């Protein structure tokens, strides 16, 4: 299996914007998105329109945040619509839930 290696675990970023940037980098690298991390509008929807991610991407993101932050995403989580509303919402969720 040829899989891109995840970058080694960075130390927890001190501010929300740094976490946003870190997530943008992880997402762009992990999903092979044809854009630069800073081109992701932090307020735009991640799913469907906006960044244009689909359900395969969301599964990939689940793997990334499970490895990187020890977070287990659940589809029946009532907050999911909120979580994927934008990179900013997603970063907020990761900051609250991360265990590493």
Partner 1 sequence: MSALPLIAHDRPDAVIAWRHGQPICAQQFLLDVAALAQRLPASMHVLNFCADRYRFAVGLGAALVRGKCSILPSAHAPEVIRQLRAFAPDVFCLSDDPQCPIALPQLLYTDASAATASAPADFQVPLIAATQRAGYLFTSGSSGAPVPHAKTWGKLVRCVHAEVSRLPVADLAGCAILGTVPAQHMYGFESTVMLPLQCGAALCAERPFFPADIAAALQAVPGPRVLVSTPLHLRALLAAAQALPPLELIVSATAMLPAGLAREVESRYHAPLLEIYGSTETGEMASRRTAREEQWQLFPDVQLSTDAQHCWAHGGHIEQRTALVDVLEPSGAGRFLLHGRTADLVNIAGKRSSLAHLNHQLQSIAGVQDGAYFVRDDAQASLAGVTRLGALVVAPKLDAASILQALRQRIDPAFLPRPLLLVEQLPRNATGKLPQHTLRALTALAAEQQPHLFA
Binding site for partner 1 (CB under 8 A): 1-4, 6, 28-36, 39, 48-49, 52, 54-56, 58-60, 62-64, 66-67, 72-76
β-partners of residue 47 are 53
| Least distance CB 97 / partner 1 (angstroms) | 12
| Least distance CB 20 / partner 1 (angstroms) | 19
- Asked if residues 98 and 71 have their Cβ atoms less than 8 Å apart, the reply is yes
Residue written as tokens 């970058």?
7
Please choose, from the candidates 67, 59, 65, the residue with its C-alpha nearest in 3D space to the C-alpha of residue 97.
65
| Least distance CB 67 / partner 1 (angstroms) | 7
């Amino acid at each position: 299996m040829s899989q891109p290696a995840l970058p080694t675990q960075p130390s927890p970023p001190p501010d929300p914007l740094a976490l946003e940037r870190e997530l943008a980098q992880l997402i762009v690298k992990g999903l092979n998105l044809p854009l630069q991390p800073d081109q992701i509008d932090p307020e735009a929807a991640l799913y469907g329109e906006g960044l244009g991610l689909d359900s395969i991407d969301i599964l990939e993101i689940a793997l990334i945040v499970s490895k990187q932050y020890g977070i287990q995403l659940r589809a029946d989580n009532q907050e999911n619509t909120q979580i994927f509303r934008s990179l900013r919402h997603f970063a907020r969720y990761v900051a609250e839930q991360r265990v590493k």
